[in-house]
Amino acid sequence: MRYHPLFILLGAVVVIPTACLVAVCPLPWNRVALAGILLELIILAVVYRRLFRPIKVIAGGMDLLCEQDFSSLLKHVGQSDADKIVDMFNAMMERLRSQSLRMREQHSFLQLLIEASPMAVMILNDDNTVTDANEASRTMLACDPVGSKLSDIGSPLGRAIASLGEDELRTVRIGGREIYRCSRLSFMDRGWKHPFILVESLTEEVRNAEKIALTRVIRTMAHEVNNSMAGILTTIDTATGILSATPAATAIITPLQACSERANALTGFVRRFAEVVKIPEPNRILTDFQELVEPVAYFLESLCSRCGATLSIDVERSAPLRFDPVLMQQVLINIVKNAAESASQGGKVAIVADGATLTVEDDGPGISAEDEAHLFTALYTTKPDGQGLGLMLVGEILSRHNADFSLRTIAPRRTVFTVAFPSL
């Protein structure tokens, strides 16, 4: 048992002189002195019990608070006033222990919730350095952002996040395909505002909504146009047949034939739109890029030569992948056609396969940042005579294959379309 230093000093001051007195006093006075020592010890014990022990117990409680040990309690000291303080202290410790346990449980639940959330959550410090991030953040950014400043994250999404202002919410489109809702908010902790980032992927929701809306529009448009064109074409054909027997009606027949051709073109235009929303589900089989490219190589070369560009193919046999070769050939034709039109006269187009990744590169003028943000969007085109169907068809087919794809200009006169399939 440890005693309070003041109590030990008091005992020494009282007992030692009395003990010296016992040593020098003759009988029977030394017995009186011994009785005095005993009385002094009894008095010291009472003083210790009444004064120093409560002080020691309370001091021990302060140590428990400093160490944040809320599981230990104080014992009664046998003094009513001091025991009331002990009871109050123990009740306070019970409340602190309960609150601490509840906070730990809530913090653990919150951590599990954040880690399992499909939304990216990143906590920042004052200089925009990421101090904590969940798994969704690492997936969306394709890196571990913890310890990095937002401005140092080189991905397109990282740059979009870094440009957010305080309390700003913005929807961004990356590569014309990936759509994210990004927010920069803050929370209070010990009187200080701590910024954090929330990123929610809207790609599937927006793509499904666009597809549903486009399907309805196309079906309505196709129904009305086809019905109207059928009647118009029948009338024109009838009128042309009647007027063809009259030589003087040549001036009328020529514009009627022009109207018929235009009506047929409009019908074909609407039919191509309808084909986009009727893409079949992929029939995935084991194949590789060489088996994909070889059957259409001559056709792809003719597409490029028609635009004055040259095509090079570097595709060898590799580990098999699982995709629909018919649909993927349609994707390849659309991408090579776009690349050839961009490269134009004297340009170059290259098809290269590496493992599970296929790239189509051209040396055309490239894609602006504004156009890049809208690629693969329904009905968006940069061509004067374009319909916005080619890349829309490509995006729909590749999305059904769960493939990652992008089209961007990575350097002057170097635009690359990349598609990566999941490895087996």
Give me 43's structure tokens: 């008095």
Q: Which residues pair with 189 in a beta bridge?
A: 192
Residue partners of 207: CB distance under 8 A and separation at least 6: 179, 399
pLDDT computed for residue 360 by the predictor: 92
**CA atoms lying within 13 Å on the CB side of residue 350:** 11
Q: Under DSSP, is residue 170 helix (H, G, I), strand (E, B) or coil?
A: strand
Q: Under DSSP, is residue 410 helix (H, G, I), strand (E, B) or coil?
A: strand
pLDDT computed for residue 201 by the predictor: 86
Region at 197 (left for phi over 0; alpha for psi -120 to 50; beta for the rest): beta
pLDDT computed for residue 383 by the predictor: 63
Return the CATH architecture of domain 285-420: 2-Layer Sandwich (3.30)
Supply angle C-alpha 301, 307, 313, rounded to 5.
30
pLDDT computed for residue 289 by the predictor: 87
Other Cβ atoms less than 10 A from the Cβ of 301: the count is 18
- Amino acid present at 118: P
User: In the CATH hierarchy, which fold is given to the domain comprising 117-201?
Assistant: Beta-Lactamase (3.30.450)
Cα 333 to Cα 318: distance, rounded to the nearest angstrom: 21
Cα 372 to Cα 407: distance, rounded to the nearest angstrom: 8
10-residue block means of pLDDT along the chain (424 residues)? Answer: 52 58 55 61 63 67 71 72 77 82 82 85 88 89 87 84 88 77 86 87 74 69 71 79 72 75 73 66 85 86 87 83 87 88 86 89 82 68 62 81 85 87 74
Other Cβ atoms less than 10 A from the Cβ of 38: the count is 11
Cα 197 to Cα 275: distance, rounded to the nearest angstrom: 41
pLDDT computed for residue 296 by the predictor: 86
pLDDT computed for residue 409 by the predictor: 84
